[in-house]
Structure 1
Amino acid sequence: MMKQKDKLKISILVWNLSTNDGYIRASLLQKSLIQLGYEVEILGFLFGKELYAAIPPNTKLQAREGANYPKFFKSIGELIKRIDGDIIYAIKPQPASYGVALLKKLYTRRPVIVDIDDWEMSWHGGDSWQYRPTLKQFARDLLKSNGALRSPYHPLYLKWMEALINQADAVTVHNQFLQQRFGGTFVPNGKDTSLFDPSRYDSNASRNRYGLSGYKILMFPGAPRPYKGLEDILMALEKINQSDLKLVIVGGSPYDDYDRQLQQQWGRWMIKLPKFSADVMPDVVAAADIVVVPQRDTPETRAQFPLKITDGMAMAKPVLSTKVGDIPNILGGTGYLAAPGSPEEIAEQIQLIFQDLDAANERGKRARQRCIEKYSLEAMASSLKSVIARL
């Protein structure tokens, strides 16, 4: 039974609050649900030493220590006691979010929504992945202190979670690939278009603030990974060979030293900026001439809705991306597209943009209008309203 009170409360569960892997989507959903008049809390685990750096200071969260099994069971028990929403919204079909939500549902009967913003198994080979250990290997994986099955995010558990998606009362997804695979309601990755509003920022002042004056800036406002195609941008810059063209990477990689590898090979074309909290990012993006999202074509990228695209769209910047997954549909003719993995085509598009920057900026203005209509928090809230109403 739902509790009788003025405001319906929704508990959003994030499997790992130490990275952007879930928190950003959770915070967008939280803002949209608050717009609809719900009370919303975010809870989750820390599988790192501290909270994800882009979480704004003073954000109210409930976090418990993430750990390997069996120690993790204690953290799960502590978090479950804290979940008091009328509806539980799990971000990703991870054991530490969706698994916890299903446990809570078992004895409270509270409805559960699972949000799928990535095909988690795509990182492990997708449908072809299988766990077929020998008895001896299984015993090692399960019983040794560093055994593979002690990890709460082992692919075996992810596969189990995917098989349990039909136990959710509702499913939300953010692109066509995921909707075809898992069903559910399309809820786009919204953008706070009142925060990401170019009229509130001065591009020249931003360039001065971040040491970018005098350059033509291609900005990638995210964490570098090999599938994100930054090498293709850097090869394009090498091909164009203009010393004032720079790729600015904001934040670096929390996962590995890939950005350092890029720096070693392509340092002359790169400028690295530190991590910034989410509320400062529009001021950083204001310094860009072009926002670049050069995704390569992989099973992982086909399942993604890159948030960096709507950073650029909302800030009315020319967006240069690739023909992968939903990206052409997201831009809807308001950006610039190249074939994935093609530095030659990317170089052509960069030169095309800078040859007529006024025309490119006009296209950027159309991108902002499209973002407001289709990818704003308000558009997100509209989709969510129907999901919650059905529950």
Structure 2
Amino acid sequence: MRIGIAAMGSVLGNGGGLDIYTRYLVEALADNDSDSSYVILVSQGSQKTWSYRSWPSNVRFVPLYDIEPRRSALVRAAQRLLWRTLALLVPAHHGDPYLARQIDSLGLDLIHYPHTVVHPLSIRTPCVLSFWDMQQEYYPQFFTDAELAARANTYMPSVEKAWHVIAPSAYTQHTLIERYGTPASKITVIPHGIPKTLQRTGADEMSRVRTKYNLPDEYVYYPANPWPHKNHARLMAALRVYQDRYGPPPKLILSGRLRHERWDAKILAVAAGMEDHVIDLGFVPLEDLPALYSAATLMVFPSLFEGFGIPLVEAMACGCPIAAADATTIPEITNGAAFLFDPFSPENIAEAIRLVLHDQELRNTLIERGYQQLKRFDWEAIIPQLVGIYERVVNRALKHPVRNLAMRCPTLPELPPPPPGETGLSATNFTNDTNSKTTRAIRAIRGKRVPIRCPTLPELPPPPPGKFGWPFDTVR
């Protein structure tokens, strides 16, 4: 099979967990499937972000362009002459139509979109979609009108466009069925995988990261961009509750803030009067994540809505105990390996942090349960499931070919010619010359019985003289 992976615009630090998933997915396919050929579609100029490792011969990267590269004037003139000679529409040279034409020209058997959205929607190549969450359906107040409109125009249409949908959790599958009416047979639940490099680190690596970021010996870790649903505001309030009830709270270390992000957790910390207890590291390199998890006393995860929750699996892989929200897919993913709390109650969050922080036996239990969950997130078990879906979709596509249909003109139904005057046109409307180009064109259209019908315009009185800057009689 020749499979495309849509990684356009996927740059770490710009898109959150979806970019991390795309990176891990490409690595896992390269390491675990040598039978298929993989074409990674990247944005123009972003190939260098994938040069951090060597890739096998069955994986190659193809840049896509928003605007067609400039050609010489002679080549452009020859192209225009060719298209006019063939009486075909000149293809678009920019935007979504041009992007779709590039993708369809690659001869892929299938393209996998790992980012919830199929873009552009006009592609003809069969596609599989990884759909992560539809948070806007449950918390529309967290989005601007423009963001809601963008999601309305892309999310459900992408699910309908896809030949098959991959949901990372049973909860996400349920939301697709409940809100979009997606048939259950069209959805397969396959979780996010974790690479083997993400594991608990030794003391030396933990010491390196502590020194690099000036971290205390004991801290609570929360890796999440400060979007509203990540619930940083209530977490800061929980720290204030902790201080008022139990004394000085532990240091809260934040990471994951994306580049150009308008939300800022430090402002929320100042509002709660807890700025001295919060350190925001911003977006940290992937190679530092294992040590940050390993050195943390616990990870707190108060998110209100998750389609999967990548940090949950990362923390379990690194032996970091978890205190997390009892909401959406979080109980499903942790499966007993997290101490759950009510994410809407700062008091409940503060109490959960205190219990896990000061109970070594509880932390050990959570760590052990976390290790037991990791088999579900092993790429070696996940990749065969993904490849099986690819094969099924490709086999279906061979039985129902869809390629190259967009360039063919459909056969129009035979319709009787309209009565004189119904179209608002007649051979004598424009000229008395029966051999004029206009007259011949009208006769040709009627002769082919093309169903083009124009409404008869009502009779209107002529405008008064001078209305348009000249006497009306002069234009008759």
Q: Which category of TM-score, normalised to the shorter sequence, fits these structures?
A: 0.7 to 0.9
CA distance in 1 between partners of 2:364 and 2:47 (Å):
33
Kept in 1: contact 2:341–2:348 (CA 8 A): yes
Name 1:25's counterpart in structure 2.
21
Q: Deviations over 1:286-336 (max 9, x none)?
A: 22111121012xxxx1x5211111111111111111111111111111111
CA distance in 1 between partners of 2:363 and 2:231 (Å):
22
Name 1:80's counterpart in structure 2.
103
Name 1:219's counterpart in structure 2.
221
Amino acid paired to 1:261 = I
2:270 to 261, 264, 273: 264
| 1:42 shift after superposition | 3.0
Q: Does 1:250 align with 2:248?
A: no
2:357 to 349, 354, 357: 354
Kept in 2: contact 1:117–1:174 (CA 8 A): yes
Amino acid paired to 2:15 = N
- Cα distance change on mapping 1:205 and 1:74 into 2, 3 Å: same
Name 2:33's counterpart in structure 1.
36
Larger Rg: 2
CA distance in 1 between partners of 2:138 and 2:102 (Å):
27
Kept in 2: contact 1:206–1:286 (CA 8 A): no
Output aligned runs, 1:164-183, within 5 Å. Answer: 165-180=159-174, 181=176, 182=182, 183=184
Let me know the Cα RMSD of the aligned residues: 3.5
2:130 to 115, 123, 139: 115
Of stretches 331-340 and 117-126 in structure 1, the one that deviates more from structure 2 is 117-126
| 1:191 shift after superposition | 1.3
Structure 1 vs Structure 2: percent identity of aligned residues?
A: 19
SS in 2 for 1:280: helix
Amino acid paired to 2:10 = L
Normalising to structure 2: TM-score of the pair? 0.62
| 1:272 shift after superposition | 1.4
Amino acid paired to 1:43 = L
2:4 to 7, 11, 20: 11
* Unmatched tracts of structure 2, length 5 or more: 54-59, 68-91, 177-181, 394-476
Output aligned runs, 1:312-327, within 5 Å. Answer: 312-327=315-330
- How many residues are treated as equivalent by the alignment? 340
SS in 1 for 2:295: coil
- Cα distance change on mapping 1:124 and 1:39 into 2, 3 Å: farther
Output aligned runs, 1:238-387, within 5 Å. Answer: 238-241=240-243, 242-243=247-248, 245-254=250-259, 255-265=261-271, 266-296=274-304, 301=305, 304-370=307-373, 372-387=374-389
Amino acid paired to 1:280 = D
Amino acid paired to 1:171 = V
SS in 2 for 1:305: coil
- Cα distance change on mapping 1:64 and 1:270 into 2, 3 Å: farther
- Cα distance change on mapping 1:42 and 1:279 into 2, 3 Å: farther
CA distance in 2 between partners of 1:336 and 1:70 (Å):
54
- Cα distance change on mapping 1:15 and 1:260 into 2, 3 Å: farther
Amino acid paired to 1:11 = G
| 1:253 shift after superposition | 3.9
Amino acid paired to 1:9 = R
Q: Which has the higher contact order (CA 8 A, sep 6+)?
A: 1
Kept in 2: contact 1:44–1:79 (CA 8 A): no
Normalising to structure 1: TM-score of the pair? 0.75
CA distance in 2 between partners of 1:368 and 1:172 (Å):
25
